[in-house]
A and B are shown apart, each in its own frame.
Chain A
C-alpha cells in the first residue's frame, strides 16, 4: 500500500486546504448551503481515503466533522463563529495527523477535546430539532444485511440521480470471499482498486473502515456507478484470487426513492426549498468534479525527480555551451548547423522543464486566510484580507523559500501595522483594517506586495531605536531619506515593537526576511505613510537556475552580467568620457551616466593596456543607470546559476558563479550592488 501513500498525503493536503478555504468562505456567507456541501464533500472524501489507508484516527475525526456538517446542511444546525472555531480546530488536528503520516508516523493524535466539542455541537442541536436523518447516517455502520439502499444519504442519492441521468449504470455488487481466504482486507482492497478503475464506489456495506478491519463475514456489497457492463465487471472482480462469487445486479434509483420517500418528507418538511437547492448544488458540484476527473490528464511527479531532471539538464546546457564554442572554432558547416539545431531544441526543452517546475503562488498564499483569521482573533483586531494574483506562477525552488518570509511580513503587518478597531475608529478609519496580498509578473521577475492600511512606520521611533541600538549614529539620522529610514527596520537587531509579542516576537526580526529574499536574488522595498499604511514589495526572479547573461572580459578574467539588468552595450572613445566631480561619466542618450571601471572594483591584476575605446555595459537598478567598463564583450549565453557556497556567502557585487563551456568558472556580477 506504500506506493499509494504519497498520493494519499498529497490529496489529503489538498482536501484539508479545500476545507480551510471553503470554511472561510462559509464564515462570510453562513447561509451558503452549496458551500456546506462542498465542504462536506471534501470531508467525506478525506474520510474515505483515510479509512482505506487504515488511518483510523484520521477517519474517525473526519467522521465527526462530517456529522456536524451534515447537520448543517440538513438545517439542524446554524453556522456560527463559535462552531466554526471548533471546526477549524478539528481541521488543524487533521492537518497535524496528515503531517505526522507524511513524516512517517501513524497519524495518531489525541483529539478527545475537539471530538467532545464536535459532539456537543452536534448533540446540542439534535435535542432541539429531534430529527431522524441525523441518526440515520451515523449508525449505518452497524446495519447488517445488504440493504444498501436504506443507508444512502441525501448526498449519495444526489450523486446517483445525477449518474443515472447521464446514463451511467448503477450496480449493486455482492462479493463473497472464499471461506479459506487469508487476507480478507487485502482482497477487499484489490476489489476496490478494480472497481475504482471502472467507476465510482458510492457506498459499501459494511462501511469501508469495517472492511479494512476485517469486521465482516465472507461477503460484502458495493454500490458502483460505472459505464462498464455488468458481466465485464463480474469477470474483472473474479480475477482477484480467493473470490468465491460476484453478483452484479442493476440498481434502480426509483425503488429507493419510493423507499426513502417517507423519512425524506418528514425531515425536509420544514424547509423544502432550501433543501432542494442543496441537493441541486451537491449534484452540480459532483458533476463538475466528475468532469474535471475525466478531462484532467495530469500526472503527479515527485519534485526530486524534477530536480534530477533539472540537474541533468544543467549539465546539458554546459555541454551545449562547450559545443557551440567548438563549432565556432572549427567553422565546420555541417557541425555548425547541427549544433544550432541542437541549441534550438535544447532551448525549447529548457522552456518545458522550467514550465514544469512552475507552480502557482497560490500554494503559498492559501495558508494565509486561516493564519490571518487566527491572528486577528488573537490580537483583537478586525482584518479583511484580500488576495490578488494567486494564479501567478513561480519556480518551485522560489516557492519553497518564500513562504516563511511572507508569513513574517504578514505577521508584522498585523501586529505592528494595523491598529485595534478602537484606535482606527478614533483616527476616523473604518474599524476593519485591510491587508492586501498581491502577486504579479513583470519582465523576468515576480512581484509580491503586502499592503496594509494601518498606522504606517513611525520614522522618529525608527530613528531613535536605530540610534539606541547602535545601528546608525545620531549625526547620520538627519541625512537619511525616508526610504533609508524604512530600511532600517530590516537591519539586524531591530524590532519596532515596544514589547515582544507572541505574534511577531519569536526572536527574529525582519533582517531574516531581508536575508532570505536577497539570497533568492530578490529585493525588498518598503513604502510607508504615517497613519495611511505600509507597502512591502518583494521582487523575485522567476527562476533561480538558468539565466541569460552577457559574458564580458575584464583583462583576462571572464565575468557574466545578467541580461535582465542590462539596458544595452556601447563602445565609446576615450575622448567622449567626461569628468564630473572626479568621476567618469558619459552622455548616454542625453542622460549623464556614471562609469564603473570593473577592473578597479574587482582589483584585477593589471596586464593589458587600454586602447582608445572603452567597451561599456549600461546596467540599471530601478531608475538609476551606470556603465560598467570592461575590456571586451564575449557574447550572450544561457548559463546555469550556481551559488558560491556557504563559505563565500556574501561577496560584494557577485551574486554567484557559472561554469563555462571550457569547464572554467565565471563569476556573475550583481550590478545592483554596484549602482548606488
Chain B
C-alpha cells in the first residue's frame, strides 16, 4: 500500500481549449471564481492584472495567452487557479477546473515531440489515464520571470 502511495501524486486537472492539464496539488493554493481583475499597465500581454485575494494582491495570468492560444470569452465555468511556486503566488485563468486525480508516476511519459499548440518547454510530461491524456505542466517554466523581463525589455 505504502509503495503505491509513493508512486502516485495528486493533481488538479483543468481544461484549456480542448485539452486537459494537470498541476500537482501541492502547488495549488485554491481555486477561485472569476472576479474583477485590475489591469496592470505595461506588463506582458498574458498578465491579466491583479486581484484582491483575501487581502493579498495576487497577479493573474491568462493561461491561454501564456500558451499563445486563441482568446476565449470568460464563462461561468472559468476559474482562477492560485498556484504557489518559489515565493511566487500567481493566479492562472483556465477554462474550467473540475477534477482531482491520482496520477501513477509510471504512467508519466516524456513529452512527445509535437503536442497541441503549447510550447513544449512548459510540459513536464504526459500521462495517459484510462482514455484521458493529461498534460503535466512544469510550473517553474510557466511562471519563469526572466521571460517576463525579456518581454518587458522588448516592449520598452
List of A residues within 8 angstroms of B58 by Cβ: 645
Contact partners of A315 in chain B: CB under 8 A: 55
CA separation between A81 and B27, bound complex, in Å? 58
In contact, B52 and A665 (Cβ under 8 angstroms): yes
Whether B40 lies near A651 (C-beta < 8 A) is yes
The answer, yes or no, to whether B39 is at the interface (CB within 8 Å) is yes
Decide if B63 is an interface residue (CB 8 Å cutoff).
Answer: no
A625 CB to nearest chain B CB (Å) = 22
- Contact at B59–A664, with CB atoms within 8 Å? no
Bound together, the chains give a CA A656 to CA B89 distance in angstroms of 16
Instruction: Find out whether the CB atom of A665 lies under 8 angstroms from the CB atom of B51.
Output: yes
Q: Which of B38, B87, B145, B152 contacts A664 (CB 8 A)?
A: B38
Interface size on A, residues (CB 8 A): 29
| CB-based contact B59/A642 at 8 Å | no
> Smallest distance from the beta carbon of B51 to chain A beta carbons, Å?
6
Q: In the complex, which of the residues B88, B152, B156 contacts A647, with contact meaning CB atoms closer than 8 Å?
A: B88
Say if the beta carbon of B4 comes within 8 Å of chain A.
no
**Is there a chain A Cβ closer than 8 Å to B143's Cβ?**
yes
Closest chain A residue to B44 by CB distance?
A648
Q: Number of A-B pairs whose CB atoms are under 8 Å?
A: 78
The answer to whether B88 and A645 touch across the interface, beta carbons within 8 angstroms, is yes
User: Within 8 Å CB of A601, what residues of B?
Assistant: 41
B36 touching A664 by the CB < 8 A rule?
A: yes
A613 adjacent to chain B (CB < 8 Å): no
A550 contacts partner chain B, Cβ-Cβ < 8 Å = no
Contacts of A235 in B (CB 8 A): none
Q: Is B43 an interface residue (CB 8 A)?
A: yes
How far is A644 from B58 in the complex, measured between Cα atoms in Å? Answer: 7
Could you tell me if A652 and B59 are in contact, using CB atoms closer than 8 angstroms? no
Also in contact, A654 and B40, with CB within 8 A (given A642-B57, A647-B89): yes
Q: Determine chain A's interface SS by DSSP, over half rule.
A: loop
A489 an interface residue at 8 Å Cβ cutoff? no
Cβ < 8 Å to B, chain A residues 621-663: 642-654, 656-657, 659, 663
- As a 0/1 sequence over residues 296 to 314 of chain A, the CB contacts with chain B under 8 angstroms (1 = contact) are 0000000000000000001
- Chain B residues lying within 8 Å of A666, measured Cβ to Cβ, are 38
Q: When A646-B87, A647-B143 are in contact, do A665 and B55 touch as well, CB less than 8 Å?
A: no
Asked whether B38 lies within 8 Å of A657 as measured between CB atoms, the reply is yes
Within the assembled complex, what's the spacing in Å between the Cα atoms of A19 and B73? 68
Q: How far is the CA of A643 from the CA of B50 in the complex (A)?
A: 11
Cα A268 to Cα B58 with chains together (Å): 72
Among A647, A649, A657, A666, which residue has the most Cβ atoms of chain B within 10 A? A647
Which chain B residues lie closer than 8 Å to A644 at the CB level? 40, 50, 57, 59
- The contact string, 1 if C-beta is below 8 Å from chain A, for chain B 57-70, is 11100000000000
- Say yes or no: is B127 at the interface (Cβ < 8 Å to chain A): no
The 10 A-B residue pairs with the shortest CB-CB distance in the complex, in nearest-first order: A602-B41, A665-B38, A647-B59, A657-B57, A652-B42, A642-B57, A659-B52, A648-B59, A665-B52, A647-B88
Taking Cβ atoms with an 8 Å cutoff, the residues of B that contact A are 36, 38-43, 47, 49-52, 55-59, 87-90, 143, 145, 148-149, 152, 156
Known A647-B143, A659-B55, A667-B50; 18 more pairs at CB < 8 Å: A318-B55, A557-B39, A643-B57, A645-B90, A647-B59, A647-B88, A647-B148, A648-B40, A648-B43, A650-B149, A651-B40, A653-B42, A654-B41, A657-B57, A659-B52, A659-B57, A665-B57, A666-B38
Write 22 A-B pairs (CB below 8 A) sorted by A numbering.
A318-B55, A601-B41, A603-B41, A642-B56, A643-B57, A644-B50, A645-B50, A645-B57, A645-B90, A646-B88, A647-B59, A648-B59, A650-B149, A651-B40, A652-B156, A653-B42, A654-B41, A656-B57, A659-B52, A659-B55, A663-B52, A664-B38
